[in-house]
Amino acid sequence: MKVPSCNYCDHPAAWMRPWDKTPLCIMHFNKGFLKRVQKTINKYNMLKRNDVIAIGLSGGKDSVVMMDVMAKLQKDFPTELIAISIDEGIENYRADGLKYAKMAAERAEVDHQIFSFKETFGYDLDEALIVLGENRMAPCSYCGPFRRNLLNQAAREVGATKLVTGHNADDEAQTMMMNMMRGNLLKTLHGNPEPTFKDEAFVNRVKPFRRTTEQEIVLYANLNDLPYQEMSCPHATEAYRGKIRDILTDMMQEDPAVIFSIINSADSLFSLADKVPDTINYDGDDQLFECEICGEPTNNTRCNTCKLKNEIDQAAMSKP
């Protein structure tokens, strides 16, 4: 079969952009990829000149590609980059991810720091699950809040003014669908992608891949020889998200741009956010308080991490 030429030069196409059927060679794919990330950053005012940017680097495809892209964009947009990785303590998984994270940071010539659950909270995730026993919630219900808490602490500790995560357009569209199907539209309404928190204890998170698809990220990694961890976390059991992913994959066969339509719908809601109290995320108030135990920012008197840690401590004390 004859390979079509790139839409912008005579080189053979490496990819056909699914939503407008544009054939692109490697060079023009890479150029377009970087351009769209930059446009996303600008569209949502995600970064400012001279920001100190912590990049959450797990070693998976999204974060490894983000590391590479941010290092390239930094050449025209002066910022300082620091890679931070979280070691949850998950056997046969995290050490492998940290290996790829280290390679990605070295390749980008960026300082890399690792923060562990064990050192911060006193437990590895695996240990905590054993202590909690059979009546516990799903592993992600503990790991997720601990991870978010530690990412914030780590970002603050390295002096970051922004925390960049690798969530991509597929993740964003899935989350929006899940919010809607669970009756949590307010979460989407108040999930503005612009960095809006003024409290210095909370490092604003931004997602420059909000308009970049998973397919593009995998292709970018492969075309640019960026090795990443392919193995999934052994505890990943978010069945509901998997179902939504399958629905979206199916819909994309007919309409490859459906993901962007969902994100555009969410974007059009943000202008209404001021008119509708946020009763889900912040009790109708975007003010954050200090947790009475650890001092981390929370919308309550005690943060979720301290509540969960207390549950683990209680379980540990009740062990013979």
**201 is a contact residue toward ligand SF4 (CB under 6 A):** no
Three-class DSSP category at 152: helix
CA-based nearest residue to 47, from 276, 282, 206: 206
Out of 129, 143, 173, 306, the residue judged to bind ligand SF4 by CB under 6 A: 143
Structure tokens at 141: 């219900």
CA distances from 259 to 14, 209, 218, 255 (A): 22, 13, 17, 9
Residues in binding contact with ligand SF4, number by CB under 6 A: 8
What is the pairing mode between strands 22-24 and 15-17? Answer: antiparallel
Please give the single-letter amino acid code of residue 57. L
Give me the least distance between CB of 314 and ligand SF4, in Å please: 21
Out of 26, 27, 140, 247, the residue judged to bind ligand SF4 by CB under 6 A: 140
- Dist CA 303 CA 293 (whole Å): 8
Each residue 71-90 as x (binds ligand SF4 by CB under 6 A) or -, in order, gives -----------------x--
Tell me, rounded to whole angstroms, the distance of Cα 135 from its chain centroid.
29
Structure tokens at 245: 């992913």
CB 198, CB 238: distance < 8 Å: no
Give me the least distance between CB of 233 and ligand SF4, in Å please: 3
CA-based nearest residue to 227, from 50, 18, 27, 59: 59
What is the Cβ-side half-sphere exposure of residue 239, based on CA atoms within 13 angstroms? 1
Out of 18, 32, 144, 227, the residue judged to bind ligand SF4 by CB under 6 A: 144
Give me the least distance between CB of 236 and ligand SF4, in Å please: 4
Which residue, 14 or 131, has its beta carbon nearer to ligand SF4?
A: 131
**233 is a contact residue toward ligand SF4 (CB under 6 A):** yes
**150 is a contact residue toward ligand SF4 (CB under 6 A):** no
Interacting residues with ligand SF4 between 28 and 47 (CB under 6 A): none
Interacting residues with ligand SF4 between 85 and 114 (CB under 6 A): 88
Out of 27, 130, 236, 263, the residue judged to bind ligand SF4 by CB under 6 A: 236
Out of 139, 193, 195, 208, the residue judged to bind ligand SF4 by CB under 6 A: 139
The H or E element containing residue 178 is: helix 169-181
Q: What are phi and psi of 61, to 5 degrees?
A: -60, -45
**241 is a contact residue toward ligand SF4 (CB under 6 A):** no
Give me the least distance between CB of 209 and ligand SF4, in Å please: 17
Three-class DSSP category at 217: helix
Near ligand SF4 by CB under 6 A, which window of 45-53, 155-163, 204-212, 230-238? 230-238
Largest CA distance in the chain: 73
Out of 17, 72, 118, 235, the residue judged to bind ligand SF4 by CB under 6 A: 235
**243 is a contact residue toward ligand SF4 (CB under 6 A):** no
Give me the least distance between CB of 90 and ligand SF4, in Å please: 6
Residues that bind ligand SF4 (CB under 6 A): 88, 139-140, 143-144, 233, 235-236
